[in-house]
Structure 1
Amino acid sequence: MTERASGTPPLLVLGKVRQILECFSVEEPDPTLQQITRSTGLPASTCQRLVHNLVREGFLDRDGDRYRIGMAFVRWAAPGTVGRDLVRLVRPVLQRLRDETGETACLYVRDGAFRTVVAVAETRHVVMRLFKVGMVMPMHAGAPGKVFLAHDPTARADVLAEGLRRFTPHTPVDVAVLDAQVEQAGNDGYSATFSERHEGVGSISAPVFDQAGELVAVLGIGAPTQRVGPADVDRLAPAVVAAGAAASRALGFRSATELG
């Protein structure tokens, strides 16, 4: 039963908000208030009031006399995008990585100073490190965070603002140490860390890029250091890097070599 059929009157203001939001597109991402008013056909005073309210609530951002979809709105929409696109396309890659390495493979996205697990292909080993969808972890401790920091220039400020909390004796809590690890991750194309967030746990991670070449996620494996330790990096890292490249291709990314 629709709202109209149930007798519930529609909220007319939502229709007007929808009209305003439909003024934003890839081709026209930052219209002026005058353009929005003209496109919607709303009275100028109504349009101005609604646009200003949308800015205040984070739905829109303002830069001079132009407006863009707000970053808060983008963040709110991210779970829907992840659920429909990123996870669906990358899940087969995670499963292959799990089968090839024998270890749990995870996909992470970033939210400020934290990373969240959005997909898991679980190892069949009896002894394992438990990862669950929805787990939230700090960026500075563990291999996935190093990869985010290496490829997302906005991540460092968020991490430093949150602070470098110590979880184990191996957690990087010195900014210079963290920066050196991040630089190495960028140079190597992957990161490998051990016992930074939990004692006895190792992880190896690589970046996932979208068709525009932007970092959208990080994938990797995690396991007890008996199976994923420093001596195993040369054996396992190429598989993780290849999985990151395969996931990127699934999202439409093409390297300079592939583009010819």
Structure 2
Amino acid sequence: MATDRGTGTPPLLVLEKITKILDCFSVTEPEPSLREITQRSGLHASTCQRLVHNLVREGFLDRSGDRYRIGLALVQWAAPGTFGLDIVQLTKPILQRLCDETGETACLYVRDGASRTVIAVAETRHIVMRLFKVGMVMPLHAGAPGKIFLAYDPAARTDLIRHGLPRFTEHTPVDIDVLDKQVEQARSQGYAAAFDERHEGAGSISAPVFDHAGELATVIGIGAPTQRIGPADVDRLAPLVVAAARDASAALGYRPSKVLDPRMEAPESP
């Protein structure tokens, strides 16, 4: 049997151990220490230390003091996989148009359990901006995109409750009843707006994108510092986000019924 060069360990066993290490990183605990990684992975201390060291050397992990986080190299390696998705290719011009019309960074998201992941980005030209990168993973309950997933994806609420609602700022909705009311508002108006929930000074507006079967396919939205996107800007920007969501849905084959589907009705500008 072939072995991993220098360790004498079968390659598949090495991959299993690396998987256990990477599973120690989560949205709520993105920077564990080596001791925490060892405890959570169940690996022998010397084995865990050696593998973590190798992952840092290869750029799969980054180290800051005694803390570790997922490395940029791993994110970059994962990013090309999203470009093969039809959803990214079909909606790319619409995402760029939304960025151009609003002047802010526009993103597409998919859900994975109690988290949301960025799968496409059209970046603003503003010097001061919120940083979004393909592969970024964020909590579901904090921010406008998550409220859209909760409004239109029946399984999202169950996954979120199972995971819990950690607090990130004083504005993070950590009470499920409060969050339910926000989600119902998002469902009724066809978009969600949120401010200072994941980071202080950050705002976002998002809307649902449906596929040919009428199911939620992705969430489209914009994000920016609250100095440019605040509550007073929602009436101006929300119709643009909803229009982009409507066009993206059409690109994915969604056809609303002859009776206007309220999910795709853009809010009127004042």
TM-score in terms of structure 1 length? 0.68
| Matching of residues 68-217 of structure 1 within 5 Å | 83-217=84-218
Quote how far apart the aligned CAs of 1:257 are. 2.9
2:238 alignment partner in structure 1? 237
**In the comparison of the two structures, how many residue pairs are matched?**
182
CA contact (8 A) 2:193 2:203 kept: yes
Q: 1:90 to 1:174 in 2, by over 3 A?
A: same
- AA aligned to 1:189 is G
- Tell me the amino acid that sits aligned with residue 232 of structure 1: D
Match for 1:185: what amino acid? A
Provide the rounded CA distance (Å) in 2 between the counterparts of 1:206 and 1:138: 17
Letter in 1 for 2:121: V
Letter in 2 for 1:190: Y
* Deviation >4 Å, runs of 4+: 79-82
User: Hey, what's the Cα distance between the residues in 2 that align with 1:235 and 1:111?
Assistant: 31
Question: C-alpha offsets along residues 190-246 of structure 1, whole Å, 9 cap, x if unaligned?
Answer: 000000000000000000100000001001000000110000000000000000001
Report how far residue 256 of structure 1 moved: 1.1
The residue type paired with residue 131 of structure 1 is: F
Instruction: Give identity over the alignment, percent.
Output: 74
Change (3 A) 1:81 1:221: closer
Q: Return closer, same or farther for 1:259/1:127 CA change in 2, 3 Å cut-off.
A: closer
Q: Secondary structure at the match of 1:219?
A: strand
Contact 2:190 2:242 in 1 (8 A): yes
Q: Partner letter of residue 187 of structure 1?
A: S
Q: Deviations over 1:68-116 (max 9, x none)?
A: xxxxxxxxxxx96873301001111110000000000000000111000
Describe how 1:45-64 pairs up with structure 2 within 5 A.
none
Query: CA–CA distance in 1 between the matches of 2:83 and 2:218?
Result: 10
Cross-structure match for 2:249: 248
2:134 maps to amino acid:
V
The 10-residue stretch of structure 1 (212-221 or 83-92) with the greater mean CA deviation from structure 2: 83-92
Which residue of 1 is the match for residue 43 of structure 2?
A: none
- Which residue matches 1:66? none
**Could you say if the C-alpha distance between residues 150 and 259 of structure 1 is closer, same or farther in structure 2, counting changes exceeding 3 Å?**
closer
Query: What is the alpha-carbon distance in structure 2 between the residues aligned to residue 259 and residue 193 of structure 1?
Result: 26
Q: Which ranges of structure 1 fall in alignment gaps of 5 or more residues?
A: 1-78
| AA matched with 1:92 | P
RMSD: 1.7
Aligned match of 1:46: none
Q: Is the CA contact 2:98–2:241 (under 8 Å) kept in the aligned structure 1?
A: yes
Q: Quote the offset at 1:258 in angstroms.
A: 8.1
- Residues 136-179 of structure 1, C-alpha deviations (whole Å, 9 max, x = no match): 00100000000000001111000011100000000000010000
CA distance in 1, matches of 2:173, 2:260: 38
Q: Secondary structure at the match of 1:83?
A: coil
Q: Provide the rounded CA distance (Å) in 1 between the counterparts of 2:234 and 2:82.
A: 33
TM-score, normalised by the number of residues in structure 2: 0.65
